[in-house]
């Protein structure tokens, strides 16, 4: 069995307290992960000022060259993992085994991490909006004749990570290029990707002393968010509530992403069916950018039925089947609880499960240790219905009829919105809408991201602040 140690800013640590990860199908042990305590985290964070200075001394161009090497190692090398090494294919299968996400999803999302490593300069350009890289070396630069200066907001960046998809790790990957040491708390079932990225960094020449991998419990995760000057955290609304007003924590929570039809396109909905299906079901429907609601001024019943017909054929498949379209729940109790929530919501009048009769089988599928939830489209008569503004860890979407003039006032927080309209007045209203964080105008699914633009927060502005800066000219001979 593989043992994954903690990495404590240059020191490998094996603890007596270990968490055992098992295969979601067989229940056989796959790995043990060493755990650290809150007091260890506090002691380690006391050393980060030195680590920050070490990283700051490395020219940014040298760091970018290390990223190129790390990208190659991440995808093609056998990298250390415990007492042995793992190839990329072995890493992907272990990742699938402990998370329940199909191998095909794990591979696809891990390649997103590789893309960011390979193209980090493009990503940095997007996050900084084209800032000259010399500003990361000397703290200032001149652009179009104007001085720009920045200073770091923290000596370390902490990330409390999830277990749902390796693609989310692309969000913290640029941290080292911004010359800020990195502390990662992995999700319980997904230590594989953050550990592999750190090993790729180390092999590429990034000093091990600026990297930490600290598996811990909920209390330890809270310590990381409390003690790090800047951090990011993933979780649902309830879990993230304590950090909602904490500017130090960048929250990645429930997305409530949506597709919004304008009046001019509502009668042409049929040409957008495939787009809606992709937005709802891509990557098993588990991403915050998956659409969880379709808003339209009319034809809601027809849209719901068409989506249900497209999605009714999705089946539960084994974890290593390349045709997988939904992820298994490694803990069947989670799937059962979500299924019960949907069923309870359907008891309230005003909502119809459009997929139930077409599919001919229950939404919840159980086999051995595993459970799946099959795609579900619910037509709601009103945005006030309990199922109208819900998001779940499977392909789920509500379809709501609501007039265009009132829609932007009712949609609520929306991480990603696709607006299907050519009405320039409505488009201008959407551009000005404060409820929408990421906006697509035209036929672009909500899940289609571009890495040269910030997504759900901006890592650069989280890690750096702009300052006024002047330097006096030296007198001749001085």
**Which pLDDT does position 153 carry in this prediction?**
97
For residue 148, the cross-strand partners are 141
Q: How confident is the model at residue 365 (pLDDT cuts 50, 70, 90)?
A: very high
**Is 474 within a domain?**
no
Contacts 24+ apart (CB under 8 A), 74-78: 74/113, 74/114, 74/117, 74/196, 74/197, 74/200, 75/111, 75/114, 77/200, 77/203
What CATH number does the domain containing 402 carry?
A: 3.40.309.10
- The sign of the dihedral angle between the CA atoms of 471, 473, 475, 478 is positive
Rounded to whole angstroms, the Cα distance separating 327 from 403 reads 35
The number of angstroms, rounded, from the C-alpha of 86 to the middle of its chain's C-alpha atoms is 24
One domain for residues 154 and 299: no
Rounded to whole angstroms, the Cα distance separating 129 from 126 reads 5
One domain for residues 49 and 157: yes
**Which pLDDT does position 210 carry in this prediction?**
98
Q: Which of 209, 235, 253 is the last residue of a domain?
A: 253
Q: How confident is the model at residue 478 (pLDDT cuts 50, 70, 90)?
A: low
- Reported as a single tens digit per residue, the pLDDT across 373-388 is 999 999 999 999 999 9
In terms of Cβ atoms closer than 10 Å to its own Cβ (0-12, 13-18, 19+), residue 247 is: exposed
**Which pLDDT does position 476 carry in this prediction?**
62
One domain for residues 217 and 360: no
Look up the pTM and report it: 0.93
**Which pLDDT does position 76 carry in this prediction?**
98
**Which pLDDT does position 142 carry in this prediction?**
87
Beta-carbon-side half-sphere exposure of residue 62 (alpha carbons within 13 Å): 10
**Is 449 within a domain?**
no
Rounded to whole angstroms, the Cα distance separating 278 from 285 reads 9
Rounded to whole angstroms, the Cα distance separating 388 from 258 reads 11
Q: Which of 253, 273, 303 is the last residue of a domain?
A: 253
Across the chain, what does the average pLDDT equal?
94
* Structural domain boundaries, residue 366: 257-441
Residue 363's φ and ψ, nearest 5 degrees, are -65, -40
**Total tally of structural domains belonging to the chain:** 2
Which 8-state DSSP code applies to residue 450? -
The number of angstroms, rounded, from the C-alpha of 10 to the middle of its chain's C-alpha atoms is 27
Rounded to whole angstroms, the Cα distance separating 469 from 478 reads 22
Instruction: State the average pLDDT over residues 26-44.
Output: 96
Residue 408's φ and ψ, nearest 5 degrees, are -70, -20
One domain for residues 206 and 327: no
**Which pLDDT does position 454 carry in this prediction?**
64
| DSSP reduced 3-state for 89 | helix
Give the Å distances, CA to CA, from 313 to 118, 294, 408: 37, 20, 33
For residue 231, what is the enclosing H or E element?
Answer: strand 230-234
Q: How confident is the model at residue 475 (pLDDT cuts 50, 70, 90)?
A: low
Q: Which of 196, 224, 253 is the last residue of a domain?
A: 253
Rounded to whole angstroms, the Cα distance separating 434 from 455 reads 15
Percentage of residues of the chain with pLDDT beyond 70:
98
Rg (CA), the chain: 24
pLDDT at 470 over 90: no
Tokens of 353: 């499960």
What CATH number does the domain containing 193 carry?
A: 3.40.605.10
Percentage of residues of the chain with pLDDT beyond 90:
84
**Which pLDDT does position 253 carry in this prediction?**
84
One domain for residues 7 and 102: yes
Task: Select from 458, 445, 464 the least CA-distant residue to 171.
Answer: 458
Instruction: State the average pLDDT over residues 392-399.
Output: 97
**Which pLDDT does position 455 carry in this prediction?**
64
Tokens 């089988």 belong to which residue? 361
For residue 122, what is the enclosing H or E element?
Answer: helix 120-128
- Reported as a single tens digit per residue, the pLDDT across 433-467 is 999 999 999 999 999 877 766 666 789 999 999 98
One domain for residues 249 and 282: no
One domain for residues 144 and 156: yes
One domain for residues 262 and 182: no
Task: Determine how β-strand 140-143 pairs with β-strand 146-152.
Answer: antiparallel
pLDDT at 164 over 90: no
- The sign of the dihedral angle between the CA atoms of 338, 343, 347, 352 is positive
Which 8-state DSSP code applies to residue 329? B
One domain for residues 270 and 395: yes
Instruction: State the average pLDDT over residues 248-269.
Output: 95
């Amino acid at each position: 069995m593989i043992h994954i140690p903690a990495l404590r800013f240059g020191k490998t640590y094996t603890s007596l307290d270990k968490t055992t990860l098992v295969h979601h199908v067989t229940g056989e042990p796959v790995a043990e992960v060493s755990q650290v305590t809150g007091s260890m985290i506090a002691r380690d964070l006391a050393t980060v000022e030195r680590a920050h200075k070490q990283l700051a001394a490395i020219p940014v161009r040298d760091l970018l060259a290390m990223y190129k090497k790390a990208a190659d190692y991440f995808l093609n090398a056998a990298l250390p993992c415990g007492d042995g090494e793992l190839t990329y294919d072995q890493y992907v299968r272990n990742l699938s085994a402990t998370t329940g996400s199909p191998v095909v999803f794990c591979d696809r999302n891990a390649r997103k991490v590789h893309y960011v490593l390979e193209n980090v300069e493009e990503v940095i350009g997007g996050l900084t909006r084209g800032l000259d890289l010399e500003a990361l070396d000397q703290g200032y630069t001149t652009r179009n004749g104007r001085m720009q200066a920045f200073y770091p907001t923290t000596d370390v960046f902490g990330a409390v990570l999830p277990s749902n998809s390796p693609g989310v790790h692309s969000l913290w990957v640029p941290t080292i290029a911004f010359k800020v040491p990195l502390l990662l708390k992995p999700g319980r079932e997904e230590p594989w990707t953050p550990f592999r990225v750190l090993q790729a960094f180390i092999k590429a020449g990034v000093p091990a002393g600026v990297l930490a991998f600290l598996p811990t419990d909920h209390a330890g995760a809270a310590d990381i968010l409390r003690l790090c000057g800047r951090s990011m955290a993933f979780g649902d609304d309830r879990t993230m509530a304590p950090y909602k007003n904490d500017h130090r924590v960048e929250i990645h929570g429930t997305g409530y992403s949506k597709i919004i039809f304008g009046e001019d396109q509502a009668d042409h909905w049929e040409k957008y069916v495939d787009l809606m299906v992709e937005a709802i079901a891509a990557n098993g429907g588990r991403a915050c950018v998956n659409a969880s609601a379709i808003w339209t001024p009319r034809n809601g019943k027809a849209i719901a039925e068409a989506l249900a017909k497209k999605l009714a054929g999705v089946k539960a498949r084994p974890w290593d089947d390349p045709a997988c379209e939904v992820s298994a729940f490694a803990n069947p109790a989670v799937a059962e609880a979500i299924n019960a929530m949907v069923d309870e919501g359907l008891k309230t009048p005003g909502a119809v499960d459009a997929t139930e009769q077409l599919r001919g089988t229950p939404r919840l599928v159980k086999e051995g240790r595993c459970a799946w939830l099959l795609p579900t489209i619910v037509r709601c008569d009103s945005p006030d219905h309990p199922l109208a503004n819900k998001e779940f860890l499977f392909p789920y979407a509500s379809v709501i009829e609501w007039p265009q003039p009132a829609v932007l006032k009712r949609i609520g927080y929306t991480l990603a919105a696709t607006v299907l309209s050519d009405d320039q007045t409505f488009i201008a209203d959407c551009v000005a809408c404060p409820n929408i964080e990421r906006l697509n105008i035209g036929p672009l699914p909500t899940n289609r991201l571009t890495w040269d633009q910030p997504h759900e927060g901006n890592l650069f502005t989280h890690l750096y602040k702009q300052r006024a800066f002047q330097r006096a000219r030296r007198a001749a001979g001085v």
